[in-house]
Amino acid sequence: MAVEALAASFALVALAELGDKTQLAIFSFSAKYRHRMPIIIGIALGFALVDGLAVVFGQAITTFISQDVLNIATSIAFIVFGIYFLLHTENEEEVQRKGKKSLFFSSFALITAMEMGDKTQLLTITLAAQYDAPLAVFAGSWGALMTLSLIALLVGRTIAQRVASHRIQYLSGALFILLGIAGLLRFA
């Protein structure tokens, strides 16, 4: 039962997450910043928190906080990150001076906000209810999200080597703002 839960969780979450806005966000972070390890750790812990909550609390998450509230909060977070990307020019020396903690916290907060109540979290809740193997469901879901995230990081790094950083910064900021506005327009 555990192997089936692991395989089903990995495959279904990977399919659901493929091309999701989270992958675009990770791509943007990777293209903007050279230090990838704090981003990877922030992403890994953000996904662990969201998937862990999905497995542990199941349906309770969406019982306490409506899907609409979660979607609006995510859209606003996108706009805030977009504005941050557009207005905040941070060169590599500043990142070194401030330390890599800010990259860790930024990526952790972004992943947690974007994935809380997202379709993959709801899918993980469903899988945890279906299979009596919470650790296998968690491992499959988290593994799928991390695999796609690492691919997005590699693609972001490759593009960053070919495109000027200020262009990536403005494109990323604009993309975040457009995704946030599109999310809010669903409620208009």
- In order, the DSSP letters of 62-92 are HHHS-HHHHHHHHHHHHHHHHHHHHH----H
Nearest to residue 104, comparing CAs of 155, 33, 22, 54?
33
- In which residue are the tokens 């890994």 written? 44
- In which residue are the tokens 């995704």 written? 179
Q: What pLDDT digit, counting tens, does each position of 126-145 carry?
A: 788 777 788 999 999 999 99
Cβ atoms within 10 A of the Cβ of 32, count? Answer: 20
pLDDT at 168 over 80: no
- In which residue are the tokens 């992958």 written? 23
- Contact of 144 with 50, CB cutoff 8 Å: no
For the record, the structure tokens of 174 come out as 């604009």
* The pLDDT of residue 157: 78
Nearest to residue 119, comparing CAs of 21, 40, 188?
21
The mean of the pLDDT values for the chain is: 80
* The pLDDT of residue 42: 92
What φ, ψ does residue 5 adopt, rounded to 5°?
Answer: -65, -40
The secondary structure of residue 23, as a DSSP letter, is: H
- Contact of 134 with 128, CB cutoff 8 Å: yes
- Contact of 151 with 24, CB cutoff 8 Å: no
Domain count across the chain: 1
Q: How far does CA 21 lie from the centroid of its chain?
A: 8
Determine the average pLDDT of the residues in 110-126: 82
Confidence of residue 118 (pLDDT cuts 50, 70, 90): confident
For the record, the structure tokens of 68 come out as 């609409």
Domain hosting residue 126, numbered range: 2-185
* The pLDDT of residue 3: 92
Q: What pLDDT digit, counting tens, does each position of 13-68 carry?
A: 888 787 677 887 888 777 777 778 888 999 999 999 999 988 887 545 556 667 67
Cβ atoms within 10 A of the Cβ of 66, count? Answer: 11
